Amino acid sequence: MAQTLLTTAEVAQKLAISVRKVRELMAIRELRYVRVCRRNLIPPEAIDEFLERNTVAPLDRRSAGDADD
C-alpha cells in the first residue's frame, strides 16, 4: 500500500498558493491529509478532491435570457 504523499510545500506549489494557506485548508478540514509522526502529508488524490469540490462552472449565458435567435 505504498503511496506517494506530498509535503505542504509541494501542494502549495501545485495549487499556486502559500504553504500557510495549505495549512489553513488542512486545519479547517478542506484538504484531506495524513499525519505521519509530526508531519502532515497530503495524498495526491486529496488535491483532486479539493479542486473538484471548489470548481465553479461557467455561466451559460444563453439560458440567462440573452437570446440571439
Q: Among positive and negative, which fits the CA dihedral 25, 50, 31, 10?
A: negative
* Res 45: pLDDT: 96
pTM of the model: 0.78
One digit per residue, the tens of pLDDT, for the chain of length 69 reads 567 999 999 999 999 999 999 999 999 999 999 999 999 999 999 999 999 999 999 998 886 565 555
Side-chain-side CA neighbours of residue 67 (13 Å): 2
- Nearest to 12, CA basis, from 26, 55, 54: 26
* 8 A C-beta contact, residue 46 and residue 10: no
Rounded to 10 deg, the angle between the 8-15 and 44-54 helix axes is 40
